[in-house]
Amino acid sequence: MKRPFEYISELIRKTEPLPLETEKGFGKKRKISGPKKETIPSENEGAPGLLIFGLFRFVKKYKGRIFVIIGLLCFEIGFYASIPFSFKYLIDEALINRNQSALYWIGAYLAVGTITFAVLGTVRDYLYNWASSRIIQDLRLQMYEHLDRLSLDFFSNNKVGDILSRFFNDLSALEHALLAFIPWGLGPLLEAVFGTMLLFLLDWKLALIALLIWPISFLGPGFLSRKSTEISYTRKLEEAQILSMVEESIAAQNLIRAYDLSDYFFSRFKNNCE
């Protein structure tokens, strides 16, 4: 087993040459180039699409709750989509034709439905948050189990910060994506489907014209999100590199203080943060 000082020295040897301000035995200064910024590897692994499809293995374990969540979401969206039609009948039947029975029924439908689906929406959010946290927990446990089975060559060829970034940064981003899936993904999609179906009931010709917007609705965000996904992935890699540099700096504190390398490590860290 390596001694701590030997391990720290090995960490320093993996970095750039140390900047010496003066040559030993001479008063002449020599020009030393500053530390270079580390390049970001262009990797395709960990792409969001692969992660999304990989999550289906963990979703199967909670498929019963997922079906309940989707069912509650469909009923909720169906109710809110019917509200404009309720106001239509409220004006045409209850107010214009002075039909008090229709007024009472439509008013009761809107009042009871609003309260009921407000409660069911809270239950749905609770179930979905519970399922999302369980999925992330199962994924974290499987990642740790897989990490424990890897060879020693893997740990010697990869930085500690890169490994820690997978457990913290990547899983945190994935958890936020799961939590935003219903309000920003499945919910708007079902609203568009229900709205189109109701539009066919009113005027099928107008509904066919409205269907022309569907390709733009799907292709537009897909085209714009591709670039943002690449930028987000690059930022995650940069965060992993910064985390690795902080870990190396903490491990090499004895050597940094002994040889007064604080300015060098700070300059190296600053270049990678820019």
- Tell whether 51 is covered by a domain: yes
pLDDT of residue 116: 93
Range of the domain at 187: 4-9+45-273
pLDDT in tens, the chain (274 residues): 444 444 344 443 444 444 444 444 444 444 444 444 444 444 444 445 555 667 778 888 898 999 999 999 999 998 988 888 888 888 887 777 787 888 888 888 989 999 999 999 999 999 999 999 999 899 889 888 988 888 888 888 887 777 887 888 788 888 888 888 888 888 888 888 888 888 888 888 888 887 888 777 777 666 766 777 777 777 777 777 787 788 788 888 888 888 888 888 888 888 877 6
What CATH number corresponds to the domain at position 84?
1.20.1560.10
- Tell whether 35 is covered by a domain: no
- Tell whether 123 is covered by a domain: yes
pLDDT of residue 49: 53
- Tell whether 183 is covered by a domain: yes
Tally of helices (H runs) and strands (E runs) in the chain: 14, 0
pLDDT of residue 8: 40
pLDDT of residue 201: 83
- Total structural domains in the chain? 1
pLDDT of residue 43: 45
pLDDT of residue 53: 66
The answer to whether 256 and 265 have CB atoms below 8 angstroms apart is yes
Compute how many other C-beta atoms are within 10 angstroms of the C-beta atom of residue 131.
21
Cα–chain-centroid distance for residue 111? 37
pTM of the model: 0.64
- Cα separation of 139 and 4, whole Å? 34
- Tell whether 250 is covered by a domain: yes
- Tell whether 224 is covered by a domain: yes
- Tell whether 15 is covered by a domain: no
- Tell whether 14 is covered by a domain: no
pLDDT of residue 164: 81
List, in order, residues 6 or more apart from 145 with CB less than 8 Å away. none
- Cα separation of 85 and 195, whole Å? 11
The answer to whether 141 and 171 have CB atoms below 8 angstroms apart is no
